[in-house]
Structure 1
Amino acid sequence: MNQSDRSARVRLVDVARAAGVSKTTVSDALNGTGRLPAATREHVQRVARSLGYRPNATARLLRAGHTRLIGVAAREHVETPWVYAELAYFVQLVTATTRAALVHGYGVVLLPTTGPGDCWLDMPLDGVFVVDPVEGDPMVGDFLAAGVPVVSDRRALKEVASGTKEAGRWVDFDYGSAARQVLDHLEDAGAERVAVVAAATTACFHQQSVDAYLDWCAERGREPRIAYLQGPGIQNVLDAVEGLIDDADALFTLVEGSPALLLDTIRKFGRSVPDDLLLVCTTEDPTALYTDPPVSTLSYLPDETAQAAVALLVDSIEGRAGDHGRLFSADFQIRASSVAPGRGPARRTAASPLTPG
C-alpha cells in the first residue's frame, strides 16, 4: 500500500485509535483547541503525521460557517439552455471572475443558465454574482431571501429589495447612453437606415439598448429595423442579419457574434463593409481588430466588471461596509467597418473611469 492510498483512507477515528485517545482529544490537538497537556498534543500530532492524516478542508470550512465559494450565474437567456463558452463575453467574464476570486482566497462555482435560484440554495455558497438577470429574476430574490450575499445589476436588486433583509450590491452600465453613442456615430457617418440585432430577453442590457434605439428612431422619424434572436448561438445571429441587410445602410449587433462570420455573411449577400453597409458589433471577440476591414466594437468590460463585482461581493460576505455599487461606461472602439469612405481615420472612444454609484 503506497502513501497516497493510506492517506485517502485515514480518518479522525483512525488517528484516535493509533494514538490511544478519544476523537475529541484528536480534534482538539489538531485544531489547537481544548485544554490538553503539551505532551498529549504533540503525541497526537506526531501520530497523525505518521499516518498521513489530512484534515477535511471542506468540513472545516462548513463548521466555520463559510466555504469560500462564490457562485456565478449568467441569466440573459433563461428559457434556452446554453453554456458560457459559447459567447466570448461570458468566457472572459468567468475567467476574470475566477482570477479575481482567487486573489481574495475564494473559488468559483458556475451555476446553470436556466431555472430558478431555489434549486441551488442547498449549495454551500458564500455569495453569488448574477449576471444579466431577467426582469423579476427569481434567482436574485431567492438567494437574497436565504441570506446569501448577491451582486447583480441595480434593476434586479430594486425589484426584490422590499422582500429581503439584504439589498445586495451592484455593478452596472448606462446601456441606453452606450447604444445612443453608437447610433449617433453611425448617423454622423451618413447612415439613415440603421438596423439592430437584439436578443428576445428581458435582461436589462437588451431592454435598455432596444428602448434607446426605438426612441432614437422616433426622434428622427425613422422606421425601426430590428430582428430578435430566440436563443444564443452564432447561427441565430447570422440568420437575423440575413433578414436585415437588404434594407439597411448600417448594422448594429447587440448580441455576441463572430466578426469574421458576420463579414462573410454580409459579403455573401453582395454587400460591402464599409462601402455600402456600416457595421458595429457588441462583442469581446479579439479577432475584430484583425478582420478586413477591422470591425468597430462596443465592449462592456468583462475584466473590470468582474473585478469590481468580486470586490463588492467579498466585502459583503466578510461584513465590510465599502461601496454598494459601481457604475461603468462602455468602451466604444471605432474602426474602419463603421467609417464611411472619405471621412478620415477612425476615432477611438475610451471607457470612462470607474465611478462609485
Structure 2
Amino acid sequence: MGGDAEYYREQFAGILAARGGRRRRPGVKDVAAIADVGVGTASDALNGKGRMNPATRDRIRQVADAIGYYPSALARSLQSNKSGIIGLSIRPFGGAPLQYLEVSYYARFLNAATVAALEHGYALVVLPPSVPTLLRNIPIDGVIVTDPPPGDPLVTELKARGLAHVTDLGEADDPKALCVGNDQAKAVIGVCDHFKRQGATTVGLLVADADEDYTVRSLAGFRQWAEANGQIPRIERTSITDPVSMMAAARRLLAAPGRPDAVYTTEAPAGSYLVKAVGEQNLRMPEDVLVAYCAEHAPDAGLSEVTRLSLNAERVAEEAVDLLTSVLSGSDPTPRHRIVDTELHVHASSLRNRNAEPRKAR
C-alpha cells in the first residue's frame, strides 16, 4: 500500500504540473483519472453507493486517501438533503442568553449533548432561545429545545417548517411530539415525602419567578402534596440571577411565625442562600429545620452535607439526542415520550432518622 500511495501522489503531482503547477485541493475528477475509472464510479465508491468490484472500490479509496481527497460536506448535504447538524436551544435566565452556563444542570446537559451528538455522527450548535429567524441561515436537521416558555416562537417555527424537534414534557399531551424530561411534579412530591418521613409537618418551597414547564410542574407537584397532607402551600418566588432577591426570599420563607420545619428549593443557585438564612435565624439542620435543594452536584464545601435532588442532566441530554437522531435516520422510535428518573441524595441537612429512608434514597 505504501508504494501504491507514493505512486498515486506522483500521478497527482503530474496532473498539477500539466495544469500549470499551481497547488490546489484534489477533486473527484483527479481521483477518477488516477484510478482509471469514470467520475461517476469514483463518486459512488467514495460515497458507498453503486455496485462494483470490491477491488475497484478499494483502489479508488486508496487513491483518495493518498492524494488527500475527501468529499465536500456541502456537496453531501445537497445530495442527501441533510446537514449533519442538530441545534440545541436552552432557555435564558434573567434576560442573559448565555446565563445558563453558570447553572450546573445546563452546563452538564450541553457537554453530554455535544458528546452524544458526535457519537451519532452529528455536530451540535447552540442556538439562542426563541429566535426562529436563525433557521433561515443555518442548515439544521433538527433541534433540541429545553424548557421552552409557553408559545415559544422557535418551537412554533420548527412545527411550521416540519423540522424534527425534541422538547421537555410540556408537549407530552401530543402523542406525536418528541419529549424527554423529568416528572417534576413527582420529583417534588418525593422530596416532600422524604421530609415527612423525617418528621416534618410543614414544608416550604422556594421557586423561580418564571413560567417555564419546570417551574409550573414543580409548583403543581408541591400543591398536590400540600393538599393531600392538609397543608396550606407555603411558597416564595425569586429571581435566580439576583443574589439579593434569592436571599430575601430565603429569609421570608424561614421567618417566624409560621416558619415551616422543612424547606426545598427547585433552583441550584438558591441552595446556598437557604443555608445562609438558616444560620441567620440561629437554626440547626436538621434538628430545627430540614433543608434540600435541586442541583446536579454540590458546588462548594458549604453544601456538601445538604440533601440534593439530581435531575440526571447527562441522561436527559443523551436520551434527547438519541430520540432526535433516531427520527432523523428514518426510524419511528418507541416511546416518543421518555421520562428520566431523578435521584435524591440524602445528606445530614435533612436526615434525622436514617432507618426511615428507603434504601434507594439513602
Alpha carbons 1:273, 1:279 under 8 Å: kept:
yes
Q: Which residue of 2 aligns with 1:117?
A: 132
Equivalent pairs, count: 332
Counterpart Cα distance in 2 of 1:82 and 1:213: 29
Could you give the per-residue CA deviations for residues 75-110 of structure 1, whole angstroms, max 9, x where no partner exists? 375855343311001111111111211211112111
Over 3 Å counting, the alpha-carbon distance change for 1:192 and 1:15 in structure 2 is same
Alpha carbons 1:252, 1:281 under 8 Å: kept:
yes
Give the 3-state SS of the residue equivalent to 2:166 in structure 1. Answer: strand
Give the 3-state SS of the residue equivalent to 1:243 in structure 2. Answer: helix
2:158 maps to a residue whose letter is F
Q: 258, 267, 270: which is aligned to 1:255?
A: 267
**Higher-Rg member (1/2):** 2
Counterpart Cα distance in 2 of 1:60 and 1:135: 37
Counterpart Cα distance in 2 of 1:127 and 1:7: 41
Q: Which residue of 1 aligns with 2:310?
A: 299
Cα offset for 1:69? Answer: 1.3
Unaligned residue ranges in structure 2 (runs of 5+): 1-20, 51-56
Over 3 Å counting, the alpha-carbon distance change for 1:316 and 1:78 in structure 2 is farther
Q: Give RMSD over aligned pairs.
A: 4.1
The alignment-based identity, stated in percent, is: 28
Q: Which residue of 2 aligns with 1:181?
A: 190
Q: Which residue of 2 aligns with 1:277?
A: 289
Q: Which residue of 2 aligns with 1:64?
A: 80
Cα offset for 1:230? Answer: 3.3
Give the 3-state SS of the residue equivalent to 1:139 in structure 2. Answer: helix
Over 3 Å counting, the alpha-carbon distance change for 1:47 and 1:222 in structure 2 is closer
Q: 320, 327, 330: which is aligned to 1:316?
A: 327
1:222 aligns with 2:237: no
TM-score under structure 2 length normalisation = 0.74
Q: Which residue of 2 aligns with 1:203?
A: 212
2:73 maps to a residue whose letter is A
1:106 aligns with 2:118: no
Alpha carbons 2:90, 2:145 under 8 Å: kept:
yes
Q: Which residue of 1 aligns with 2:342?
A: 330
Alpha carbons 1:121, 1:146 under 8 Å: kept:
no
1:213 aligns with 2:228: no
Counterpart Cα distance in 2 of 1:300 and 1:263: 21
Give the 3-state SS of the residue equivalent to 1:178 in structure 2. Answer: helix
Give the 3-state SS of the residue equivalent to 1:196 in structure 2. Answer: strand
Could you give the per-residue CA deviations for residues 121-160 of structure 1, whole angstroms, max 9, x where no partner exists? 43211111111122233322321221211111343364xx
Cα offset for 1:219? Answer: 4.1
The runs of at least 4 aligned residues of structure 1 exceeding 6 Å deviation read 6-9, 13-16, 25-28, 44-51
Worse-superposed segment, 233-242 or 194-203: 233-242
Q: Which residue of 2 aligns with 1:93?
A: 109
Give the 3-state SS of the residue equivalent to 1:298 in structure 2. Answer: strand
Cα offset for 1:57? Answer: 2.2
Cα offset for 1:223? Answer: 3.4
Correspondence list, 1:17-32, <5 A: 29=42, 32=45
Over 3 Å counting, the alpha-carbon distance change for 1:65 and 1:294 in structure 2 is same
Cα offset for 1:216? Answer: 2.9
Counterpart Cα distance in 2 of 1:333 and 1:49: 52
Counterpart Cα distance in 1 of 2:123 and 2:244: 33
Counterpart Cα distance in 2 of 1:202 and 1:76: 12
Q: 139, 161, 166: which is aligned to 2:154?
A: 139
Counterpart Cα distance in 2 of 1:268 and 1:130: 40
Counterpart Cα distance in 2 of 1:54 and 1:88: 39
Counterpart Cα distance in 2 of 1:333 and 1:183: 14
Over 3 Å counting, the alpha-carbon distance change for 1:147 and 1:349 in structure 2 is farther
Q: Which residue of 1 aligns with 2:246?
A: 237
Cα offset for 1:67? Answer: 1.6
